[in-house]
Structure 1
Amino acid sequence: MVDLKTIPTDEAERIIKFEEGHYLDVKAIELKPAKMSRSISAFANTAGGEIFLGIAETALPDGSKLREWRGFPDMEAANANFQVLETLGQLGNHFKAVFLRCEGKEGYLLHLTIPKTKDIISSTEGRPYKRSGAQNLPVDTDEGLHRLRLDKGVITFEDETLAIPAKFVTNSETMIGFMLEVVPSGEPDQWLESQFLLDGQKPTVACVLLFADEPQAALPKRSAIKIFRYKSREEEGSRETLAFDPITIEGCAYALIVKAVETTKKLVEEIQKLGLRGLEKIIYPEETLHEIVTNAVLHRDYSFPADIQIRIYDNRIEVESPGRLPGHVTLHNFLITQSARNPKLIRIMTKFPNAPNKDVGEGLNTAFEAMKKLRLKAPELEETENSVIVYLDHAPLGSPEDAVLDYLKTNAEITNRVGREITGIRSENTMKEVFYRLNKRGLIERVPEKLGNLSAWRLTTGGEATNTGGEPTLFDFPPQVVD
């Protein structure tokens, strides 16, 4: 039974005006179910999305387009669409359907929500699609299908074998130390075979990452971490703002995590930031750095020939991990769901003494909680075409307005540049809007003699620098994402 929902006119008008994009399709009821299946496939195989069936579009003589709500005459009229939908996924969990009606509008609009799925979903023609912008692109080559299987986690690159001698791993210091600590009565080659890390005396990618002393020799350009330090707050670093040549961290996966966290922490603690009481050291919780780096090493897509990058700016850290989010994980559910792209790497890592992923499944939650305890902004995630980036801003959790008023408690005036430093806001115009809101409320005013690039703001005469939003005691800390 499909739900039926009555919506108000203003909500119906918003739906009519929706623009098609990476996460949204708006179609007329005349759309053939087979063609609709391409959108279902594309959304399910990429990042999920929504389809609204029942919006007619007419081209006008001036080149513009007129949209109208023109739904199905009754709910049974959409049966052909449901017959197609139910053939696309075995478990029927690849869509959610709701009929929408609105007083004064013609017919029933069908709203389909398509989540990103664990499995590959094909269209009725038997071909899978991927979403790119507002387009459904067919995956019609062997290479494209192989990449889609890797992206979805149907296959994993960690099981690929490498044409190198087994002794590259079985005689390594890392392997010997691990065996003495964890399996003292076993032999390396026998134990590795029992864990499916050796295949016909050839080590797998997971085996090399875990137990080779220097995996980078066998897996160049995809198994190290590069650390960049930019003396800048700009959106992108440049060669001119690079403090020194990038640092390359190498070693087995365990050592990689430890050394990368230590190096990043040391470099960050050398930075001073303008705070409410003058210059102060930047401090990120070590748990956050540890969990985000661990997540990057264990969950990255090793089929991409690219190293993990840690970019340290004056006001933030960026950790870029090659590969898109695995399986059914999206920017909106990554804290409440799991999909292991590299299950052997993750499982065997838990056997190491003081394993970096001992709290399996809690890594990013721990990172978010640690930032919350220091009253810093939650990490932000962005998914690009071939990577996932985590942003750690050194910005207070409180509102920008609170930060400005707190600063003016002990300082006579504040400029746009200083405001951006203490709030973590990157845009000059966004910072101006904060000042304008406070000015509109009568809390601050411009310093009359300072104009143009020198403009500044101060408390109004007789004004009080009170907390604009109150000090929260219980608050939600939702993940912040960049779509």
Structure 2
Amino acid sequence: MYPVYEISREQAIKIINIEENFLNDVKAKEIKPAKLSETVSAFANAGGGDIYIGISEKGSSKIRSWMGFNDVEEANDITQVLFKSHPFGNHLIFEFLENRDYPGYVLHITVKKVKEIVKSSKNEIFVRINAGKSKLSSNQEIARLELDKGITTFEDEWVNINPERIENSISILNFLINVVPNAEPLTYLNNQELVKEEQCKVSGVLLFCDEPAIYLPKRCSIKIMRYRTKDEDIGREFLDGVPITIEGDLYNVIYRAVEQSIKIIEGIQKLGTKGMENILYPRETLHEIITNAVLHRDYSIAADSQIRIFDNRIEVESPGKLPGHVTKENILDTQSARNPTVVRLINKFPNPPNQDVGEGLNTAFSAMEALRLKPPIIMEKENSVLVLIPHEPLASAEELVIEYLKENDEITNRIARDITGIKSENTMKNVFLRLKNRDVIEPIPGRKGAASAWQMKNN
């Protein structure tokens, strides 16, 4: 018999309205068990997730309602088919939820990612993609999945720690406020298989220890550095002040790193078309890229993540290569969670940093475009992933020169390079010549060499 939990009306409403995404799905109780096994296969072969059965959707309006099983035995067909498909069931946790204001019992299935490939009742293989599933059929697709799942994730390693450092932490108390159903810290940690005796999994330490750096040094902090230069070949002489170290549980590390980065950025100015202006990066871009760096880094590598803030760009570097089959080319269209437990559980915190699961980087790119800035650049290095966020306008160099001259009497090569991001004097000179050939600008008479400048042409 699986446990039955009575939940509050507020918690029930939250389940009814939960967003279907990479980690969550809702199904009506009438779903065929064989069809449900495909969804289970998809979750288990991706990052795991939660399925709520007993939530119906009405027609094309997709209005949801709580229509649970009349009794827990009514769901026996589902559990039997799932266990027949997956005899060990080591990736499944079942529980029933009820509320006196709503009819019946909702079956909540927690699906964990496991090392082996999980198949459906028809012996087919699925993976979760955004809010849906995709069937794998070719040998190449299956081989790629085997490669992805064959890598042992460091988040499942055990760390020697006094359990009280976890079960009495501020972090887990904050976390459990948002969990349905409510549970005592130690009960929840045991149910999630995060603790045993005097040990805790790395994922548990990262999420629920207030000072994880004590147990995982050089693995769970972020270094923030400010360099007063635009150069790419940098040295310590450009470092402004002492690097800032952000420590704590992952949830707080993400939010503190974003806030500290924004605070530093607010003090930077650059030459714009209307004179000196404050640097502006979209908060969404910083948040999503920093979140991605924290959640998907390789925690087996003893190195902190780094945020480097320059006069004309931000660099976010996280240890470890891109996980599984993810590449620079497909990173906006696919997911592969190196740390599925961390990704799944941090999504249950109040105001989770990975609110739009699977859409984070897309949000980062869209926010840059909305401000008419060039998109982030993702680079895979030998042992790390570097995301470069340039502060370069999408407008053409010609447009920026004209815009500047609408507000100013003249423009020099150096000023033009500052506002356009062009590094080469000759390249900038060619921009001027193209505008000259179009009778838009002209050189200022008598200005030669370093003093030469251009002005709008009076037609």
Shorter-chain TM range is: 0.5 to 0.7
- CA pair 438-200 structure 1, distance change in 2 beyond 3 A: farther
Deviations 1:440-459 (A, max 9, x none): 44433444533443443333
Q: Please, which of 435, 442, 445 is the counterpart of residue 432 of structure 2?
A: 435
Q: Take 2:334 and 2:411, find their aligned partners in 1: how far apart are those partners?
A: 43
Contact 2:178 2:348 in 1 (8 A): no
Question: What is aligned with 2:318?
Answer: 321
Q: Please, which of 356, 366, 369 is the counterpart of residue 366 of structure 2?
A: 369
- CA pair 185-410 structure 1, distance change in 2 beyond 3 A: closer
**Root mean square deviation of aligned Cα:** 2.4
1:413 alignment partner AA: E
- Partner secondary structure for residue 309 of structure 1: strand
1:230 alignment partner AA: Y
- CA pair 329-244 structure 1, distance change in 2 beyond 3 A: same
Question: What is aligned with 1:64?
Answer: none
Deviations 1:312-353 (A, max 9, x none): 111111111111111111111111111111100000001101
2:139 alignment partner AA: G
- Partner secondary structure for residue 177 of structure 1: helix
- CA pair 117-438 structure 1, distance change in 2 beyond 3 A: farther
2:454 alignment partner AA: W
- CA pair 220-94 structure 1, distance change in 2 beyond 3 A: same
- Partner secondary structure for residue 405 of structure 1: helix
Question: What is aligned with 2:357?
Answer: 360
- CA pair 258-435 structure 1, distance change in 2 beyond 3 A: same
- Alpha-carbon offset, residue 174 of structure 1: 1.4
- Partner secondary structure for residue 326 of structure 1: coil
TM-score with structure 2 setting the length: 0.66
Deviations 1:256-294 (A, max 9, x none): 011111111111111111111111111111111111111
1:189 and 2:191 correspond: no
- Partner secondary structure for residue 414 of structure 1: coil
1:91 and 2:88 correspond: no
- Alpha-carbon offset, residue 310 of structure 1: 0.7
- CA pair 415-165 structure 1, distance change in 2 beyond 3 A: same
2:404 alignment partner AA: Y
- Alpha-carbon offset, residue 399 of structure 1: 1.2
1:388 and 2:385 correspond: yes
2:312 alignment partner AA: N
- CA pair 161-269 structure 1, distance change in 2 beyond 3 A: same
- Partner secondary structure for residue 325 of structure 1: coil
- Alpha-carbon offset, residue 118 of structure 1: 4.1
TM alignment of 1:215-254, pairs within 5 A = 215-254=212-251
Number of positions where the alignment pairs a residue of Structure 1 with one of Structure 2: 324
- CA pair 167-412 structure 1, distance change in 2 beyond 3 A: same
Question: What is aligned with 1:305?
Answer: 302
1:353 alignment partner AA: P
Task: Kindly indicate whether structure 1 or structure 2 has the higher relative contact order, using CA contacts under 8 Å at least 6 residues apart.
Answer: 2
1:311 alignment partner AA: R
- Partner secondary structure for residue 162 of structure 1: strand
1:295 alignment partner AA: N
- Alpha-carbon offset, residue 185 of structure 1: 4.6
Contact 1:161 1:199 in 2 (8 A): no
Q: Take 2:162 and 2:172, find their aligned partners in 1: how far apart are those partners?
A: 14
Contact 1:230 1:238 in 2 (8 A): no
TM alignment of 1:6-405, pairs within 5 A = 91-93=138-140, 117-120=144-147, 154-182=151-179, 185-405=182-402
Q: Take 1:370 and 1:243, find their aligned partners in 2: how far apart are those partners?
A: 28
- CA pair 256-174 structure 1, distance change in 2 beyond 3 A: same
Q: Take 1:204 and 1:428, find their aligned partners in 2: how far apart are those partners?
A: 55
- Alpha-carbon offset, residue 429 of structure 1: 4.4
- CA pair 456-168 structure 1, distance change in 2 beyond 3 A: same
- Partner secondary structure for residue 398 of structure 2: helix
- CA pair 212-409 structure 1, distance change in 2 beyond 3 A: same
1:170 alignment partner AA: E
- CA pair 196-442 structure 1, distance change in 2 beyond 3 A: farther
- CA pair 360-439 structure 1, distance change in 2 beyond 3 A: same
Q: Take 1:330 and 1:221, find their aligned partners in 2: how far apart are those partners?
A: 26
Q: Take 1:411 and 1:213, find their aligned partners in 2: how far apart are those partners?
A: 54
Which segments of 5 or more consecutive residues in structure 1 lack a partner in the other structure?
Answer: 1-88, 96-115, 121-148, 463-483
Comparing 426-435 with 397-406, greater Cα deviation is found at 426-435
- CA pair 175-385 structure 1, distance change in 2 beyond 3 A: same
Contact 1:383 1:389 in 2 (8 A): yes
Q: Take 1:446 and 1:283, find their aligned partners in 2: how far apart are those partners?
A: 32
Deviations 1:87-126 (A, max 9, x none): xx9933369xxxxxxxxxxxxxxxxxxxx94444xxxxxx
Comparing 423-432 with 241-250, greater Cα deviation is found at 423-432
- Partner secondary structure for residue 277 of structure 2: strand
- Alpha-carbon offset, residue 180 of structure 1: 4.3
Contact 1:209 1:223 in 2 (8 A): yes
1:188 alignment partner AA: P
Report percent identity of matched pairs: 55
- Partner secondary structure for residue 182 of structure 1: coil
Q: Take 1:398 and 1:452, find their aligned partners in 2: how far apart are those partners?
A: 28
- Partner secondary structure for residue 388 of structure 1: strand
Deviations 1:390-449 (A, max 9, x none): 122222211121111111222222223212221233444443443343344443344453
Q: Take 1:436 and 1:251, find their aligned partners in 2: how far apart are those partners?
A: 55
- Alpha-carbon offset, residue 183 of structure 1: 6.0
